[in-house]
Structure 1
Amino acid sequence: MENKFIVSARKYRPQNFNTVVGQSHITTTLKNAIRNNQLAHAFLFCGPRGVGKTTCARILAKTINCTSPTPDGEACNTCNSCVSFDAGTSLNIHELDAASNNSVDDIRSLVEQVRFAPQAGRYKVYIVDEVHMLSASAFNAFLKTLEEPPSYAIFILATTEKHKILPTILSRCQIFDFKRITNNDTVEHLQEIVDKEEIKAEKAALQVIAQKSEGCMRDSLSILDKIVSFTNGTVTYQNTLEHLNILDEDYYFKLLECMQQQDMAGAMILYDQINRKGFEGDLVLNGFAEFIRNLLVCKDPKSASLLEVVEGMQAKYTATANSTGLSYLVSALNILNDAEINFKMARNKRLHVELTLIKLNFLQQALELAADNGTVVKKKRIDGPIAFRSKAVAPIQLKQTAVPAATPAARLYIDQPAAAAAPAARPATAAPKPSAIAPPLQRPAPPPPPSGGKRNLLDALREKYGDQYAIEEVKEAEVLNMEKLQACWKEYGAMLEKQQKHSSAGTFKIAVLTIENDIRFTVSVPALTAQKFVEQERMMLIDHLHKAFNNRSITFSILVEASEKEDVPAYMRMNSKQKFERIAEQFPAVRDLKDKLKLEIDY
């Protein structure tokens, strides 16, 4: 029988701290803690997926139980404890998947196991993976044991979502934060594996795999296994791009060249070629935005270290960045970002991408038109004061005349000749047609001016504009008086009669009015039904009284007098059965219908 295939992520899983990739800050701390006998009773390993959290937990569990560790704090891998651990038969290490065992009962079972001391070795290690999946009740059941475990028990918790763990758990653990593995470390580790497996692999292909894995070593090993199977043991740059559905960067260089030359036809044809190869529009937008970002990084030597491209492409990126304006790159990145955000909402995806390419094609021309002496001019900018047109207003000629000593205070008058007030002094206008404009209202002549020809301002305005404007004095508010209040009350009752509201009109006739003060009165009615009729007319009645007294402060309250029991109609005092009996006496056929249909009466 042939040997079963083992994926690289399991076959080449690190067996000691020195083989862990990219986490030297954690492995060094753990080795020193083991060597100096300063181990904590609870650890929390948190970080992204596939960076070595569970691997480090297993190495730590194996190392602390090793009977003959190396001087630098590593496991020997030859003693009975290490051999049983590698074979998976060690009784001192217990792994719990909290994603599928997240209830209180599972944690209680774990706590029960902690009571028993190890039969061989120094420590019993409990590794709880995906600990953030535990329920709140399970966390609470775990608190006491995690705070004060036996001297031989060590807990190692692993999670990818640290923020979901209760603060009471975090405060009881020694926390280690794992970081993403860099592309260089990933490429070096992949190179070691392909050398051991005798696989032909180009370094550029390994760099693409490292970029695609985004710092996850497990993903990079899985991708490598797929590509090796796809290419039959020969990993090249081109077949890696084809397998990972990644667009070659040469297409982006060609797109940028077409746009700088404002060759819209060439850019559209190039995108059609890309589309025919099966690349979706969002993948093109995202890749082109990343390409522009890399060019921006190359513009400044200080940030050139942030460039993450395959080996041999750095010089081409730098040359292209030097020949492209900074304003163009920033504006293009902004356009691509907006297009990528709105891509999902677009119905015609291809047209959306083509519209973005058209904008980028004419972007250079737009920047040149907006440039002023080498600097970009912002829209709606005001460089200086704005002139506006104004028209002078002729002032009113006012004159303060002398007043005899007997006058208590000085007054202000318009000194205007008598001829100015005559109608003949106004400019002649076309006489309006009698049918179009009504003649002016005839008002009483204004009072004669005071002696000496001196007139106040109101008299002058009346004399000059009295035939054009209605100048009325403000009326003073009146207080309540019984005579006028009774007249208004009866007038409103008559209005209700015209509106055929006979019940309300009858209530107004029997109501008794009592004035409490200048702005408030009371309406006394004999029953609650009469009170409801008055309440229904409250708003309109108040408005009627305000207009009559020219006083908007007037209000009233309704008082129900204690009187004899209200006369309620007989039919309103009957229940359903009594009503039926009364109807059946008058119409016997109703009782026959009830009996034939076997109906019952609801009370």
Structure 2
Amino acid sequence: MEQFIVSARKYRPQNFSTVVGQSHITTTLKNAIRNQQLAHAFLFCGPRGVGKTTCARILAKTINCEHPGADGEACNTCQSCVSFNEGSSLNIHELDAASNNSVDDIRSLVEQVRFAPQAGKYKVYIVDEVHMLSTSAFNAFLKTLEEPPPYAIFILATTEKHKILPTILSRCQIFDFKRITTNDTVEHLEEICEKESIHADKAALQVIAQKSEGCMRDALSILDKIVSFTNGELSYQNTLEHLNILDADYYFRMMDCMLKQDLAGAMLLYEDINRKGFEGDLVLNGFADFIRNLLLSKDAKVAVLVDVVESFRNRYVEMASQLSAGYLVSALNVLAEAEINYKGARNKRLHVELALIKLCYLQQAIELVSDTGKKKLTETRPMNFRVLQPIAHPESLQQLSGSDRMPPAGQVGLAPKPQQPNQPQQPLHQPLHQSLPQPLPQPPAPPAPSASPAKTKGPVLMIEENIVTGKAKPSTPKLGSLEKLRQQVSSSAQNSTVIPTIFLTDEVLKLAWQEFVEQLKANRNPAAQSFELAELRVVDRQTFTVVTPNNLQQKFIDSERIPLSEFMQQRFHNRYLTFSVIVEQRDDFTMSVEIPLNSKERFQQMVEQYPLVKELKDRLKLELDY
């Protein structure tokens, strides 16, 4: 019985012309060989299974060929080519850096470089998966790689170029291999099927090429597996079944249900998919890819990016013509969010079903947003320009109202918080406002828009007036329109009552502070005592400082910082009011601590009280142990 050889090895290219999808690499190498401009070190990098090691072997065989062709290809008939094809050539050395990545392995390789080839021109050293070498091994390889003997050529291959040291990269000629396109993969698979007498549908080969993601070795492995599964008969259906891929027909039927808002049909269809054993995340990912293809199919310029089976291409274009780009983008957002959160969901099936429910009613939601379905999302609405009108600053209100004098500082301001229209203004906290001066009456209306801001005396504030250019603003906007929301905001701003801002003074600040302390006491808050002992200092009209004698009281006040800030801003009608808490030592809080006397101090105190004690000590010539 003949031994079976997998297609990836049996049909490995033997010369540059049979390499698939890497013409930019093979052409460069053949020209370098023909012009005798070979570098001493090459670095082949790119994805897996695209021909890096294959091209390295072909290059090693071609440069040692005794009778190379005019096009730079090896003859495959000379002694050197025959020995290479049989695997007995002594001029080619391959090292797997994944399993031989130590310094000793590289030193052994460097020692072999010293010996010249017995036959042929060059000794070629192919180091596969070179990124697996350790840093010490790379450093041991540097000098030899920079200045090798004239007969030595190094070919390094890797899938992760970023892991290689820059000192290695600078010593090599770098060739970047690209992924093999779907069309090139399908053509190569068709040639192999023809040689092996395998009956394969083109749609099945296209599915295999898409599944391989540009890797020829994976495509050949999948082909061998399906051939064994189907006894040489590759059809579209059995290929999908073996690769566990959901047929695109399910996605077309699912989209039909969503266009009709047929939730029952969509749920039954997902039940059928679930029974076939497909996981929810695979369905979400496949449906998102399907909608992405529909979105690309709407524009002929990018339709070439749709990588689908040829028989489905016209169906994609037909389905895309029935859908708006806004719907497809919104559907992609829903599916992307569902796929991200799928892993954390406990009930996986319910999570997918919720995404399908959203998609079934997505079109209806978009129509409701776009003015009750009568205006499309792509219609152009008249643009709204905001014109800034000047009004007088609070400090110049006396000029507008005609009053003879300005009120005291700290009594005039504009409050950002409006009240409901047609409702009498009530004081928020009577105890504080009874002790405060009454606010000024409302100023007259601002000047007309045509008035020049330069004529207004004093500082100027700016208010916004919304006007519509191009068309008259509709009097009764329709439900759900953005114009209605703008009208509501504008009317509420016009009908709002202006509450004067109360600027900070020592008197009103202490009253408000004491009121907050009373609230703390009513709630039995332990921080009330710290608030009573604190000292208040007004910095400016909307900033004050709280001074505490120690860190403990500072922490108590900081713990109530948010409620205090909200209370003060509400009392003074000023949301820009701020305060800070600092610690300063105070004399009235200094505690006297009695320090005990030592032995010498106690004796001196005793002598001062009883002088005869010292005389007795001197007469007896006593020495005291202090």
Q: TM-score, length-normalised on structure 2?
A: 0.63
Change (3 A) 1:384 1:565: same
- Structural mapping, 1:331-370, within 5 Å: 331-370=330-369
Is 2:67 the counterpart of 1:68?
A: yes
Q: Distance in 2 between matches of 1:56 and 1:45?
A: 9
Is 2:365 the counterpart of 1:374?
A: no
Change (3 A) 1:29 1:556: farther
Change (3 A) 1:359 1:183: same
Change (3 A) 1:37 1:548: same
- Structural mapping, 1:285-324, within 5 Å: 285-324=284-323
Change (3 A) 1:545 1:182: closer
Corresponding residue number in structure 1 for 2:177: 178
Q: Distance in 1 between matches of 2:584 and 2:65?
A: 101
One-letter amino acid of the counterpart of residue 225, structure 1: D
Change (3 A) 1:115 1:472: closer
Q: Distance in 2 between matches of 1:130 and 1:558?
A: 80
> What is the CA deviation profile of residues 179-219 of structure 1, one whole-angstrom value per residue up to 9, with x for unaligned ones?
00000000000000000000000000000000000000000
Residues 47 and 53 of structure 1 are in contact (CA less than 8 Å); yes or no, is this contact kept in structure 2?
yes
Corresponding residue number in structure 2 for 1:36: 35
Residues 370 and 377 of structure 1 are in contact (CA less than 8 Å); yes or no, is this contact kept in structure 2?
no
- What's the offset of the Cα at 1:397? 11
- What's the offset of the Cα at 1:377? 9.4
Change (3 A) 1:566 1:344: farther
Runs of 4 or more above 4 Å deviation: 381-386, 393-400, 470-474, 537-540, 554-567
Change (3 A) 1:48 1:544: closer
Q: Distance in 2 between matches of 1:64 and 1:545?
A: 89
One-letter amino acid of the counterpart of residue 253, structure 1: F
What count of residue pairs does the alignment treat as equivalent? Answer: 427
- What's the offset of the Cα at 1:261? 0.3
Corresponding residue number in structure 2 for 1:464: none
Corresponding residue number in structure 1 for 2:81: 82
Change (3 A) 1:557 1:186: farther
Corresponding residue number in structure 1 for 2:122: 123
Q: Distance in 2 between matches of 1:561 and 1:42?
A: 88
Change (3 A) 1:544 1:175: closer
SS in 2 for 1:175: strand
Q: Distance in 2 between matches of 1:73 and 1:353?
A: 57
- What's the offset of the Cα at 1:544? 11
Corresponding residue number in structure 1 for 2:188: 189
- Structural mapping, 1:398-547, within 5 Å: 546=586
- Structural mapping, 1:46-61, within 5 Å: 46-61=45-60
SS in 2 for 1:312: helix
> What is the CA deviation profile of residues 140-183 of structure 1, one whole-angstrom value per residue up to 9, with x for unaligned ones?
00000000000000000000000000000000000000000000
Q: Distance in 2 between matches of 1:565 and 1:242?
A: 102
Q: Distance in 2 between matches of 1:28 and 1:9?
A: 23
- What's the offset of the Cα at 1:3? 1.2
One-letter amino acid of the counterpart of residue 10, structure 2: K
Q: Distance in 2 between matches of 1:174 and 1:280?
A: 46
Q: Distance in 2 between matches of 1:198 and 1:473?
A: 97
> What is the CA deviation profile of residues 403-457 of structure 1, one whole-angstrom value per residue up to 9, with x for unaligned ones?
xxxxxxxx99xxxxxxxxxxxxxxxxxxxxxxxx9xxxxxxxxxxxxxxxxxxxx
SS in 2 for 1:69: coil
- What's the offset of the Cα at 1:548? 3.6
Corresponding residue number in structure 2 for 1:9: 8
Q: Distance in 2 between matches of 1:309 and 1:345?
A: 31
- What's the offset of the Cα at 1:374? 3.1
- Structural mapping, 1:181-220, within 5 Å: 181-220=180-219
Change (3 A) 1:358 1:118: same
Corresponding residue number in structure 1 for 2:159: 160
Corresponding residue number in structure 2 for 1:449: none
- What's the offset of the Cα at 1:341? 1.0
Residues 371 and 377 of structure 1 are in contact (CA less than 8 Å); yes or no, is this contact kept in structure 2?
no
- What's the offset of the Cα at 1:325? 1.2
Corresponding residue number in structure 1 for 2:138: 139
Corresponding residue number in structure 2 for 1:447: none
Residues 98 and 130 of structure 1 are in contact (CA less than 8 Å); yes or no, is this contact kept in structure 2?
yes
- What's the offset of the Cα at 1:398? 7.8
Residues 129 and 159 of structure 1 are in contact (CA less than 8 Å); yes or no, is this contact kept in structure 2?
yes
Is 2:225 the counterpart of 1:226?
A: yes
Structure of greater Rg = 1
Change (3 A) 1:560 1:22: farther
SS in 2 for 1:313: helix
Q: Distance in 2 between matches of 1:347 and 1:333?
A: 23
Change (3 A) 1:566 1:185: farther
- What's the offset of the Cα at 1:63? 0.3
Q: Distance in 2 between matches of 1:331 and 1:473?
A: 54
Q: Distance in 2 between matches of 1:250 and 1:198?
A: 30
Change (3 A) 1:565 1:253: farther
SS in 2 for 1:302: coil
SS in 2 for 1:156: strand
Change (3 A) 1:473 1:281: closer
One-letter amino acid of the counterpart of residue 243, structure 2: L
- What's the offset of the Cα at 1:326? 1.1
- What's the offset of the Cα at 1:284? 0.5
Change (3 A) 1:319 1:539: closer
- What's the offset of the Cα at 1:32? 0.4
Residues 143 and 168 of structure 1 are in contact (CA less than 8 Å); yes or no, is this contact kept in structure 2?
yes
Identity %: 71
- What's the offset of the Cα at 1:376? 3.1
One-letter amino acid of the counterpart of residue 175, structure 2: F
Change (3 A) 1:60 1:539: closer
Change (3 A) 1:365 1:144: same
> What is the CA deviation profile of residues 448-498 of structure 1, one whole-angstrom value per residue up to 9, with x for unaligned ones?
xxxxxxxxxxxxxxxxxxxxxx97999xxxxxxxxxxxxxxxxxxxxxxxx
One-letter amino acid of the counterpart of residue 204, structure 1: A
- What's the offset of the Cα at 1:336? 0.7
Q: Distance in 2 between matches of 1:78 and 1:3?
A: 25
Corresponding residue number in structure 2 for 1:100: 99
SS in 1 for 2:318: helix
- What's the offset of the Cα at 1:546? 2.4
Change (3 A) 1:76 1:269: same
- What's the offset of the Cα at 1:312? 1.6
Change (3 A) 1:539 1:46: closer
> What is the CA deviation profile of residues 273-317 of structure 1, one whole-angstrom value per residue up to 9, with x for unaligned ones?
000000100110011011001111110010111111112211111
Change (3 A) 1:129 1:547: same
One-letter amino acid of the counterpart of residue 143, structure 2: K
One-letter amino acid of the counterpart of residue 14, structure 2: Q
- What's the offset of the Cα at 1:383? 5.3
- What's the offset of the Cα at 1:547? 6.0
One-letter amino acid of the counterpart of residue 78, structure 2: C
Change (3 A) 1:329 1:558: farther
One-letter amino acid of the counterpart of residue 160, structure 2: E
Corresponding residue number in structure 1 for 2:168: 169
Q: Distance in 2 between matches of 1:351 and 1:547?
A: 70
Is 2:30 the counterpart of 1:27?
A: no
- What's the offset of the Cα at 1:556? 12
One-letter amino acid of the counterpart of residue 124, structure 2: V
One-letter amino acid of the counterpart of residue 88, structure 1: G
SS in 1 for 2:57: helix
- What's the offset of the Cα at 1:242? 0.3
Corresponding residue number in structure 1 for 2:275: 276
Change (3 A) 1:147 1:548: same
Q: Distance in 1 between matches of 2:351 and 2:99?
A: 44
